[in-house]
Chains A and B, each alone.
Chain A
Amino acid sequence: MSNESESVPDHQSPAAGSSPQETLESVVIRFCGDSGDGMQLTGTQFTNTSAMFGNDIATFPDYPAEIRAPAGTLPGVSGFQVNFASNDIYTPGDTVQVLVAMNPAGLNANVADVDPGGIIIANADAFTSGNLKKAGYASNPLEDGTLSSYRVFPVPISRLCEESLADTGLGAKAIAQAKNMFTLGLVYWLYDRPMDSTIDYLNSYFGKKKNKPELAEMNVKALKAGYYLGETGELFVNRYHVPKAKLASGTYRKISGNEATALGLITASRLANSELVYCSYPITPASDILHTLCFYKHYHVKTLQLEDEIAAMCGAVGAAYAGGIAVTGTSGPGLALKSEALGLAVMAELPVVIVNVQRGGPSTGLPTKTEQADLLQAMWGRNGECPAIVLAARSPSDCFDLAIESIRLAVRYMSPVILLTDGYVANGAEPWQLPIVDQLEPIEINHASEFNYHNDELDGDGNNCYMPYLRDENESRPWAIPGTPKLEHRIGGLEKDALSGNVSYTPDNHEHMVRQRASKVNRVADSLPPTEIQGEQSGDLLIIGWGGTYGSIYSATNKLLQAGHKVGTVHLRYINPLPNDLGDIIKRFKRVAIPELNLGQLSIMIRSKYLVDAVGINKVKGKPFLVAELVEQLSALLPAPTAGSNGVKEPSAGSGKTKSQAAVAK
């Protein structure tokens, strides 16, 4: 709710008619500037407004690891890309139609991605000789004609913003920080967006949370000044309008992957009628899960920020032993540190979920960039034969579903579950159709409370003792928690007797237990839903993807289908175990291609398990796949499309198209 008494023009107001308006299906805008210029906030606000307006959206925040890299330099450039559309979109876009550059470095780092004829809005005041030099420009690109293939709008944003805020009485530094809102206002006008949602945000954030109403007022003023500049400044010939998308009916909210993971974990703990214990250590890009969870104490969420990654894993193992819904979150280097304690959870057979938000590696690598190179670490990065269940979320909202699924599988199979997401999915946002709460299935937890075994050597008829490693129909073991009378037992990291859990070094028992732990994890495959294939059910090429590359591969597959190619795509969410029907699906295609943001890790798994000569399409630039590069590389593996099959082919319903709700294990 806006506190402002002034009316805010929206796209329906008469003022909007002052410039001719063009309707577009989708637009990709990238905001860029120094890491201190507030580009992430600007992009987020544009996204929220577009989502609330009813567009489909997909975002790609791209920022440096340094909090404030030297101002004006290329390494300090922070960007936020948003694709907003009236049709279904699955990626933030390969290229951008509009680049908003707050300084020369931002322009230089991003101009190559702008479509020919695209719009460049630049803060002309920042194109000083010093900034040009820092950005690697010999002359001013706004003036020297090098940008002649674009529509360039140099706007003296700093000066105009200053002038419009001169009467606020605030200092020059505060005023300078409002230029992102000025710019946002200008872009709002250009793309016919309402300002209400951002005004509400500014009033709530600066006015209420920070208790600085003067800053709220200043930023709102800057936003409006930018908007009115568009309206009256006659800078642009046209305005553009992107109508609402035709989304399925329901209630929506905008969600990022990390938020969705957090909400999924809380939801799962409530579905299990238990307490969530989230043990973590700050690490980019996973920290936002911790930041989100720590607000939800009234959901019985306990967040423990522990002393290191190892302690976070151990804390979670302890929490699981004590009967909590135990989760830890991390990124690649943290998963490496957790591996020994993860092995303990495998050995002790305790239900723990490990969320790994993958980033560029190895070592510290690229903390803020995306990559899929932790797959084999999740699979095999532990000492001994040490299997864990591994899932991978394919989109921001899928993180919600798979967070719940991870906990469901962990407690059902008494096993650690590694949930792989990545920086792209974690920070990217999309509209999320909210689930109907009554339709969420409860998670059953039965803590053992009685003896479960008859031992002849002990007194008493019927069951007269507790065997912590007695198997149930899922090959899972009972979960008796401390505080339960008569079931006192000891477990640990030493090899255990197959029934009593007591230490056992017997050769046959060890082999039995190694095979048992593997067999139990493999049992999960029996409960998986049939694998969905997008496109052809058999044909020339099967594309197998996993994780955050879903949107790019989905869009590329559609383009190949539209071109008449006989391709099918399977996007795996269950990585360990792999679905039982995958082998048969592979046999129905002549070739297999596996696009991944690594050097071929899923390829190693698929090639070794199915003895198929899969071709890897691999990229390790810290960036997601572009649809165009996938289409090009996949096309090279395909025969020319047969004549007569070049009609537009829409994927059939239930082919893995829906973004939010895909089937989970039964």
Chain B
Amino acid sequence: MTTVELPTYKPKDFASEQEVRWCPGCGDYAILAAVRKVLADMSAPKENYVFVSGIGCSSRFPYYMGTYGLHSIHGRAPALATGIKSTNPDLQVWIVTGDGDGLSIGGNHLLHVIRRNVDVNILLFNNRIYGLTKGQYSPTSERGKKTKSSPFGSIELPMKPIAFALGAGATFVARCTDVNRGGMNHMPAVLKAAAQHKGTSFVEIYQDCNVFNHAAFFYATEKDEAAEHTVYVEHGKPMVFGKARDKGIRMNGMRPEVVSLEHISESDLLFHNEKELTVSQILAQMTHPEHPEPVGVLRNVQKPTYEGQLTFQIDSTIEKFGGEGTIEDLLYSGDTWTVSE
């Protein structure tokens, strides 16, 4: 009996030699540290990871990972990742994008990579602002937001990334925050679940741009706020939240409502079911300040992957033909005729 030595990694093995150049205090640092740690805990060899990104602050991420990386063009990372994963399905492909890169210029590609269920992991850093271009409103900026390009307030309605992903047919949707100063950082668990999911994993990460949109998500990240304004959802468990875990979500007809657990038992609350699309869609519509915002894995189902089916069609066609085609068969087929001297 022989044993194979599996690689064991430390987070620093996933660092590159390049100096990290985000602004001091940027939420990206925490995400980078969490991803390195999660990867060190996984079993895949380091050379099998590819980080693909577009343009924006978040998209510098691949440079700071000691893996293979491709820093591409604005919004197109999902399309590049589709090409990479289709070519070599053994690779672990991660896409790092932002609210501008992924939902504005790259909205179409994000939609279709999710729809195809390519087995990639998408981390969408949502800071509700364009950071790298120095502070214009983004597709997730709230209406009325004053920015460099909206001095009188943005006249656009923000989109909900989670609802978008669900609408595209996502098989895995989750949300977490860059930090949680209330001592409940769910990012490692969420990232690990995303990495383990076979199919497209979409993770929205609330990320603080401390230069252009500081404190946008403090309601969801700060010590006394997080527990009151977020609900951590777990499959099969009732939706309970609050610092004292004294509140819950109950359905009132078609609408979720916040109830006090003083008079209502947990069994009457909405139970999370990550396999049931309706539940995920209800969660996607819960926004601050009317509702606590859900964090954790909102949806997790299995469907055939794009590259899996691509490979299957090739393998089964080769089997049907009794082997690979030869160049001779390729060219000398159909209606041919011979001319002799």
> 0/1 per residue, B140-169, Cβ < 8 Å to A?
000000000000000000000000000000
12 A-B pairs in the complex with CB atoms less than 8 angstroms apart? A251-B336, A263-B330, A298-B323, A298-B325, A306-B82, A314-B83, A318-B70, A318-B84, A318-B87, A482-B49, A485-B47, A502-B63
- Are the C-beta atoms of B66 and A488 separated by less than 8 Å? yes
Query: Interface size on A (CB < 8 Å)?
Result: 72
Asked if B302 lies at the interface with its beta carbon under 8 angstroms from chain A, I say no
- Are the C-beta atoms of B331 and A435 separated by less than 8 Å? yes
Asked if B8 lies at the interface with its beta carbon under 8 angstroms from chain A, I say no
| Shortest CB distance B126–A (Å) | 22
A317 to B326, CA, bound (A): 27
Please judge, given known A-B contacts A247-B339, A251-B338, A314-B76, whether A277 and B83 are in contact too, CB under 8 Å. Answer: yes
Residue among A302, A484, A487 facing the most chain B CB atoms (10 A cut-off):
A302
Asked if A483 lies at the interface with its beta carbon under 8 angstroms from chain B, I say yes
Q: Which residues of B contact A503 (CB under 8 A)?
A: 18, 63
- Are the C-beta atoms of B87 and A275 separated by less than 8 Å? yes
Chain A positions 277-329 with a Cβ under 8 Å from a chain B Cβ: 277, 279, 296-302, 304, 306-308, 310-312, 314-324, 326
Q: Which residues of A contact B87 (CB under 8 A)?
A: 275, 277, 302, 318-319, 322-324, 326
Q: Of B180-188, B225-233, B312-320, which stretch is located at the interface?
A: B312-320
- Are the C-beta atoms of A250 and B73 separated by less than 8 Å? no
Chain A positions 215-263 with a Cβ under 8 Å from a chain B Cβ: 247-254, 263
- Are the C-beta atoms of A437 and B338 separated by less than 8 Å? no
A197 to B337, CA, bound (A): 12
- Are the C-beta atoms of B83 and A317 separated by less than 8 Å? yes
Asked if A665 lies at the interface with its beta carbon under 8 angstroms from chain B, I say no
Q: Of A22-30, A490-498, A538-546, A589-597, which stretch is located at the interface?
A: A490-498
- Are the C-beta atoms of A490 and B68 separated by less than 8 Å? yes
Please judge, given known A-B contacts A298-B314, A307-B108, A324-B87, whether A266 and B330 are in contact too, CB under 8 Å. Answer: yes
B81 (CB) vs chain A CBs: closest residue: A318
A276 to B303, CA, bound (A): 26
Residue among B323, B330, B340 facing the most chain A CB atoms (10 A cut-off):
B330
Asked if A114 lies at the interface with its beta carbon under 8 angstroms from chain B, I say no
- Are the C-beta atoms of A249 and B341 separated by less than 8 Å? yes
Chain B positions 67-92 with a Cβ under 8 Å from a chain A Cβ: 67-73, 76, 78-88, 90-91
Q: Of A46-54, A175-183, A613-621, A648-656, which stretch is located at the interface?
A: A46-54
Q: Which residues of A contact B290 (CB under 8 A)?
A: none
- Checking A250, A315, A494 against B338 with a beta-carbon cut-off of 8 angstroms, the contacting residue is A250
- Checking A247, A319, A486 against B84 with a beta-carbon cut-off of 8 angstroms, the contacting residue is A319
A440 to B327, CA, bound (A): 10
- Are the C-beta atoms of A483 and B48 separated by less than 8 Å? yes
Q: Which residues of A contact B73 (CB under 8 A)?
A: 314, 340-341, 343-344, 493
Asked if B96 lies at the interface with its beta carbon under 8 angstroms from chain A, I say no
- Checking A271, A490, A502 against B327 with a beta-carbon cut-off of 8 angstroms, the contacting residue is A271
Asked if B52 lies at the interface with its beta carbon under 8 angstroms from chain A, I say yes
A301 to B330, CA, bound (A): 12
| Shortest CB distance B110–A (Å) | 10
Chain B positions 10-27 with a Cβ under 8 Å from a chain A Cβ: 16, 18
| Shortest CB distance B115–A (Å) | 9
Beyond contacts A270-B327, A435-B331: 17 other A-B pairs, Cβ-Cβ < 8 A, are: A52-B337, A249-B341, A297-B317, A300-B314, A302-B314, A307-B111, A315-B79, A315-B86, A318-B82, A318-B87, A437-B331, A440-B327, A483-B48, A488-B67, A490-B70, A493-B72, A502-B63
Q: Which residues of A contact B65 (CB under 8 A)?
A: 490
- Are the C-beta atoms of A263 and B331 separated by less than 8 Å? yes
Asked if B296 lies at the interface with its beta carbon under 8 angstroms from chain A, I say no
> 0/1 per residue, A70-89, Cβ < 8 Å to B?
00000000000000000000
Q: Which residues of A contact B63 (CB under 8 A)?
A: 490, 492, 502-503
A321 to B48, CA, bound (A): 13
| Shortest CB distance B10–A (Å) | 16
- Are the C-beta atoms of A490 and B337 separated by less than 8 Å? no
Asked if A531 lies at the interface with its beta carbon under 8 angstroms from chain B, I say no
Asked if B310 lies at the interface with its beta carbon under 8 angstroms from chain A, I say yes
Asked if A587 lies at the interface with its beta carbon under 8 angstroms from chain B, I say no
> 0/1 per residue, A105-116, Cβ < 8 Å to B?
000000000000
Asked if A489 lies at the interface with its beta carbon under 8 angstroms from chain B, I say yes
Asked if B135 lies at the interface with its beta carbon under 8 angstroms from chain A, I say no
Q: Which residues of B contact A248 (CB under 8 A)?
A: 339
Asked if B109 lies at the interface with its beta carbon under 8 angstroms from chain A, I say yes
| Shortest CB distance A198–B (Å) | 11
- Are the C-beta atoms of A304 and B335 separated by less than 8 Å? no
Asked if A434 lies at the interface with its beta carbon under 8 angstroms from chain B, I say yes
- Are the C-beta atoms of B91 and A482 separated by less than 8 Å? yes
